[in-house]
Structure 1
């Protein structure tokens, strides 16, 4: 009876929270002040950037995101670490820093080591072409000399217009500059309330006009509308003004929901995910160098190998990587993060021509990796690693045009052949796994963009009905091994990262995740991923089980990161086991899948 009562109580609480959250979101949505704020599909089309205006952005491939603010004194969550009302958000705050404390942290914000010129040099050294800076986040603090507010950088001990200095430095360094600007403002008393149109909207428009008219050339805008409608910000007229003030400016998709056409802004912005492999338009993956957007002194820093793997996958699938680094209270980037970013830049100096200025390749991303192309050059980026297979060869569908030449950009490529309707690339096995990315340049008789893209992989893993899952331990009931096979819970949507992973107990000295197959499987590929916020594995092995129940090592690796594919020889196995043996933080595995 106690169990029944407890279950009923949980259901009632959960239902109540759902209703509360649903109503919370709805209270911030209301009609436009007048009909001119609504637009037709034709009016929406007027706002799209041209292909010529988008070209530099599509060529860039890598940008640096900077989340910063006085909040770092008390929390590692910018705006979301404030416990108070959240106009425009989908959920109410349930914890965080008291508003009376949070909203006064700016009074001690004094980043004495901030150097805008040094920042721009670092951006360039890291191989990036543009920077997106948080001029104003949801918490309302302005990093510019806002004339209609006291809650600005000018009223801190620092008392210098950081946006002005960044704009000047970006122009000198030839780095493209975006302002991040949150339309919702959690400290303004009239934002999304009764006098929103009378008081808040003019306040916001004054900010926007200042940011895009007083600071020279601004190349783009990164909005962040949360759960609001486009007309609440008069987005149509604001975007029209931006195009007048800054000809050629581009805008992300977060300009408010409710537009007549599905495509909002000029490009999509998946967050904490690598995004789609064959999207219908350009996109930008917004990812963090640590597990937080704001400064996190002891956060799990992504190794450069992981960042590069993500960059290569994103570029090959038609997008940019926007990598976030959070400066500290003195105005400097965290040394450990900057060190890894610099290694990314060093790799780009050597191999960047196979990424930058290219477009997604004719081969859609798959278990092999991804492809990029420019003119009649096609670059195959082989990210797959070799497990217990004897041959270092990658098979792809045959191309619709003749290959004139094939050469290895990285060491170890031997030759190619066309056989049984397949393009087979042969590599030296000893060199293959030593390369982060095995790159092959194919010179084709025709420009591959003249042909339809080619699917390379039916990415359908074994279903969880075909195996039993067991783990050495788990940190709590919601972090058991089987939760990562709940596809419904792990479907990506914009602004939402995957929320289910296997996490072993902290005192587990020999963590392992095991799949026992109910019948033998001819596994050709294993896919592994970690939680995007915690790429912390630094050594691991994968074992496979034979018919006698004996386990043998099929692969040994160091970093997992996002979307690591491991090639096996395809002989029948009865199970597979992941053993993470070294880590820097808590292990969080989001994918451990087998493909026949």
Structure 2
């Protein structure tokens, strides 16, 4: 998809081919005051690695999620196929996908097992995207997977959101519900009296307050259902940042310039009601900023430097957010490389996979998760629960610190390399409490202490030949653990 402008301080990852849509990162972070939210946020920040899934009826056409029904002239909204010539015919055919959606291979335990083996610790699932089709059993509309018009409704697992949340929760995952604030199927958002012009509400809410209040009630009721009927929830991940108070619009961001009307849905009430049902709930009103965006979500990008507030990069494993046949998937090495750079800056990686219309991941996606898991099982202690450590990243190394003040140097395989290229000596930064008694180990050589030597006033790790020459492409990265010195006085 066509890239959108990014705020200062970010750089785009080197994606190739079809690019998924990108969003800016909000600038005005407000630390939550609720102690339970603070506690949940700290626990979430230790997890570092999560699974994102965009899934809906659109997977049957192998197109970008929802956006082809949006009447904007952008790369990611272009209509294709036999109905593309007429907008009205296209909308009719798109909404008719409900009558053929039948993902008979849906098995959430297979996804949860693969995610667990990959070292993922939380999941965010699209309960409803912008097109308004609900992947949960809402009582507010019949445009849902559990309605009788949908073939899969007769399946015992038809309430897929509940099945996914329960299955992942049983494995100890934190649970996140993605929910789109705009709803292009709702007659109270895109009122049929007027044709939609763009992604925004197609009437003036101030002029027609009863209709807008009906939409606010609809939205609050659906979120209330998710918070009431789907077990313990940890994250309410809200998308569609154009649904926001007009006063919060940032005119320097290109896509926000199109927001004409005040689209305030009363986030204070939604957050309060949700937290009454789910104490400590993290609310992520992404790109809006303020007290209801408990962590920020740069999309398809990684900040250049550590941020002073919680954040997560949501990035696609392939080139698209939703299922596309024969999508190009990033290599396991690329994904580990991204994870390390994100964690070294204090963030988390939410890695997206789009399930197929049959209800499964591609074989390639499973293979990537397996390879990532093989590395994480050995090196995960250098990822989970760590914090950024200056100088953060130098050359092909990132630096992290654990809660017990152990320092980690992770020397990674670059995307261009075919094999690891580790120097004979890795010079340590000017860290305190490093002396001849400092213990250095590596999970790649279990049970072996590595030598330190001092030269020109700097300490360096002598890298054994077994590490320098025994690493191949599947190694991805080597971890060195520099334990806190216990020098005698």
Task: Pick the TM interval, shorter chain.
Answer: 0.7 to 0.9
Match of 2:460 in 1: 424
Change over 3 Å in CA distance of 1:420–1:234 after alignment to 2: farther
Match of 2:41 in 1: 54
In the alignment, the residues of structure 2 paired with residue 250 and residue 172 of structure 1 have an alpha-carbon distance, to the nearest angstrom, of: 20
Match of 2:411 in 1: 382
In the alignment, the residues of structure 1 paired with residue 301 and residue 273 of structure 2 have an alpha-carbon distance, to the nearest angstrom, of: 32
* Structure 2 unmatched runs, 5+: 1-27, 85-89, 190-200, 246-262
In the alignment, the residues of structure 2 paired with residue 390 and residue 190 of structure 1 have an alpha-carbon distance, to the nearest angstrom, of: 60
In the alignment, the residues of structure 2 paired with residue 441 and residue 361 of structure 1 have an alpha-carbon distance, to the nearest angstrom, of: 13
Equivalent of residue 84 in structure 1, options 62, 65, 70: 70
In the alignment, the residues of structure 1 paired with residue 117 and residue 125 of structure 2 have an alpha-carbon distance, to the nearest angstrom, of: 18
Match of 1:333 in 2: 361
Match of 2:273 in 1: 241
Bigger Cα Rg: 1
- In the TM superposition, what whole-angstrom CA distance separates every residue of 1:222-261 from its partner, at most 9, and x where no partner exists? 111333424612112211222211112112251635x4xx
How far 1:333 sits from its partner (Å)? 1.1
Please tell me whether residue 400 in structure 1 is matched to residue 400 in structure 2: no
**How many aligned positions are there?**
399
Secondary structure in structure 2 of the residue aligned to 1:351: helix
- In the TM superposition, what whole-angstrom CA distance separates every residue of 1:389-437 from its partner, at most 9, and x where no partner exists? 9953333431022352112232599533343354433324424666421
Task: Judge conservation of contact 2:323–2:355 (CA < 8 Å) in 1.
Answer: yes
In the alignment, the residues of structure 1 paired with residue 145 and residue 301 of structure 2 have an alpha-carbon distance, to the nearest angstrom, of: 32
In the alignment, the residues of structure 2 paired with residue 243 and residue 93 of structure 1 have an alpha-carbon distance, to the nearest angstrom, of: 35
How far 1:110 sits from its partner (Å)? 0.5
Please tell me whether residue 307 in structure 1 is matched to residue 363 in structure 2: no
Higher relative contact order (CA 8 A, sep 6+): 2
How far 1:324 sits from its partner (Å)? 0.6
* Segment of structure 1 superposing worse, 151-160 or 274-283: 274-283
- In the TM superposition, what whole-angstrom CA distance separates every residue of 1:102-131 from its partner, at most 9, and x where no partner exists? 121111000111122332222212211111
Task: Judge conservation of contact 1:114–1:330 (CA < 8 Å) in 2.
Answer: yes
Task: Judge conservation of contact 2:283–2:292 (CA < 8 Å) in 1.
Answer: no
Match of 1:65 in 2: 52
Equivalent of residue 188 in structure 1, options 180, 186, 189: 186
* Structure 1 unmatched runs, 5+: 1-40, 447-596
Match of 1:415 in 2: 451
Equivalent of residue 129 in structure 1, options 121, 124, 134: 121
Task: Judge conservation of contact 1:48–1:265 (CA < 8 Å) in 2.
Answer: no
Give the aligned CA root-mean-square deviation in angstroms: 3.0
Relative to the length of structure 2, the TM-score reads 0.74
Please tell me whether residue 169 in structure 1 is matched to residue 162 in structure 2: no
Task: Judge conservation of contact 1:78–1:294 (CA < 8 Å) in 2.
Answer: yes
Task: Judge conservation of contact 1:413–1:426 (CA < 8 Å) in 2.
Answer: no
Change over 3 Å in CA distance of 1:302–1:413 after alignment to 2: farther
Task: Judge conservation of contact 2:177–2:235 (CA < 8 Å) in 1.
Answer: yes
Alignment of 1:107-506 (within 5 A): 107-155=99-147, 156-159=150-153, 160-191=158-189, 192=201, 193-194=203-204, 195=208, 197-230=212-245, 232-254=264-286, 256=288, 259=290, 265-374=293-402, 375-383=404-412, 391-403=423-435, 404-411=438-445, 415-427=451-463, 428=465, 429-431=468-470, 435-445=475-485
